[in-house]
Chains A and B, each alone.
Chain A
Amino acid sequence: MQITMTVNGVSHTRDVEARLLLIHFLRDELGLTGSHWGCDTSNCGACVVWLDETPVKSCTVLAVMADGHRVRTVEDLARGGRLDPVQQGFAECHGLQCGFCTPGMMMTARWLLDHHPDPAPAEIREALSGQLCRCTGYENIVRSVQWAGQHGAGQHGAGEPAED
């Protein structure tokens, strides 16, 4: 069936099978390979993207369910050549090693900081509790998100479309 969705501010129309998962639509149809396809069982969270204003696990959403909606992926974090504070935080605080979980971690962190600009470590851990990292032990991820909170992470409004 034909679907149209706005991904990172750009409208895309494609003919897809109903069984196509959103993560595969983003990666294979649109070439947006920043979102990672991990466990396939909605456990790991590497595939987290925003559906409208909400982080979802895109391995457990059909592309057709996003028809008529807006999707935001990790490719939309940096604006005008400037990294989002969340990305800067991950760089400053060594929030990644292999980087596989990082896109999902950052998309959930972005959402958290839009709603709670200066979260406590416990709030960060709770927000990220549905996402797995097998490298860092999470300490540095929590520090990265805290760093972002303390360095202007609220500068992008929640769900703002790309407008550089």
Chain B
Amino acid sequence: MQVPAYVEYEKATSVAHALALLERFGPEARILAGGHSLIPMMKLRLAQPETLIDINGLSELSYLTVTGGELRIGALTRHAQLLDSAGAARHFTILHDAEQVIADPVVRNWGTVGGSLCQADPSEDLSAAFAALKATMVIAHPGGTRTVPARDFHTGPYETVVGPAEILTEIRITIRPGGGSAYEKVGRRAGDWPVGAAGSALWLEDSGPAGGEPAGTIADAGIGLTAVGAPHFSAAGAEDFLRGAPATEESFARAGELAAASCRPVSDQRGPADYKRHLACELTIRSLRRALARARCAGGGAPGGAPRDEG
């Protein structure tokens, strides 16, 4: 029987209250959101906080809004809510792709976006998705808020820049024209962590005249990589190569090679390092392909695979 060790418990009634509780109980206090990462780790004594500060009552942190040219996601948003969000799927389909393969439907009902990011498991999918989208994390502290690029959010496995008296409150993603995005994951079975995964976001300079099929030039690209030892969950060299390049199969193949070369996967029970490096290449290419189709679709060009639901 696995049960957590003895722990104190406080229920936060607001973000300010949660911050005050964090200050009061010190660095051995942990925020409890969905608990679907933290509670299993507490059972195994891999985490042994002295105090849990439960933020599940903070509805002020549970929202998805499109405002001011940004998608804003409250940190307490459940995975199922992000998966069901037509607005998120329309602007950033990569999030819909990733959420479909995070854990299983029942876990997604209670696990939270912010909790996953703060758990900072190297195999966690959203870190790469937000890295690809060049998202911004909003962190609250007793004196106000600060923002951190998604790529600077993690300082190592299970470590983030969120300080002992701070809370991740929001993820912001800028909506830019000509964009499309996609996430590709290979796992051993439903609900499992990935063997490897890659997500891409593309922004085209010109989606081409209606009816035409020009390749288009890539204005900007974001590539996120999961579980393959990629620095900052991303592939900066491949992105540099793609910026200004034509959106072609040849470009994507080269980007895949560069992405794979930048990874340092380790062999484990999910697969050998060379296979994971192969996945980094191949899944980068596949996600770029789908991102391109969606960018063209969003730009009014040829039909792609993007959902067209409103909301």
In the complex the two chains form, is A127's CB within 8 Å of B39's CB? no
Q: Chain A: which residue is nearest B190 at the CB level?
A: A129
As a 0/1 sequence over residues 78 to 100 of chain A, the CB contacts with chain B under 8 angstroms (1 = contact) are: 00000000000000000000000
Binds A, one of B106-114, B141-149, B207-215: B106-114
Q: Which residue of A lies closest to B51 (CB)?
A: A18
Q: Which of B32, B54, B103 contacts A130 (CB 8 A)?
A: B103
Size of chain B's interface in residues, with CB distance under 8 A? 30
- Note all chain A residues with C-beta closer than 8 A to B110: 51, 54, 56-57, 60-61
Evaluate contact between B1 and A40: CB separation under 8 angstroms.
Answer: yes
CB A61 to nearest CB in B, in angstroms, measures: 7
Interface magnitude class on chain A: 20 to 34
Cβ proximity bits A136-164 to B, threshold 8 Å, 1 near / 0 not:
00000000000000000000000000000
B247 within 8 A of A: no
Report whether B191 and A130 are in contact in the complex, using a CB–CB cutoff of 8 Å.
Answer: yes
Q: How far is the CA of A20 from the CA of B36 in the complex (A)?
A: 15
Is A21 a contact partner of B36 (Cβ separation < 8 A)?
no
A64 partner, pick from B6, B54, B103, beta carbons under 8 A: B54
User: What is the 8 Å Cβ interface bit string for chain A, positions 9-26, against chain B (1 contact, 0 not)?
Assistant: 000000001111100100
Query: Would B3 and A129 count as touching, CB distance under 8 A?
Result: no
Q: Smallest CB–CB gap between B14 and chain A, Å?
A: 16
B305 interfacial contact with A, CB 8 Å: no
Closest to A53 in B: B109
Task: Mark interface residues in A57-77 (1 if CB within 8 Å of B CB, else 0).
Answer: 100111011010000000000
Q: Most chain-B CB neighbours within 10 Å: which of A24, A41, A43, A57?
A: A57
Q: Are B107 and A19 in contact (CB under 8 A)?
A: no
A1 at the interface (CB under 8 A from B): yes
| Binary CB contact string for chain B from 229 to 241 against chain A (1 if under 8 A, 0 otherwise) | 0000000000000
A62 touches B5 (CB 8 A): no
The yes or no answer to B303 lying at the interface (CB within 8 A) is no
Smallest CB–CB gap between B224 and chain A, Å?
24
Q: Is B7 an interface residue (CB 8 A)?
A: yes
Contact indicator A57/B35 (Cβ below 8 Å): no
Do A24 and B9 touch across chains, with their CB atoms under 8 A apart? no
Partner of B106, one of A1, A18, A21, A55: A55
CA distance A1 to B9 in the complex (A): 9
Q: Could you give, for residues 23-61 of chain A, a 1 whenever the CB lies within 8 Å of some chain B CB and a 0 otherwise? A: 010000000000000001111010010010011110011
Binding site for B on A (CB under 8 A): 1, 17-21, 24, 40-43, 45, 48, 51, 54-57, 60-62, 64-65, 67, 108, 126-127, 129-131
Given contacts A61-B110, A62-B52, A65-B35, 4 further A-B contacts (CB under 8 A): A1-B9, A45-B106, A55-B106, A57-B107
Pairs across A and B, CB under 8 Å, 15 listed: A19-B4, A19-B5, A24-B3, A41-B43, A42-B40, A43-B191, A45-B104, A57-B36, A61-B35, A64-B11, A65-B32, A65-B56, A108-B105, A130-B103, A130-B106
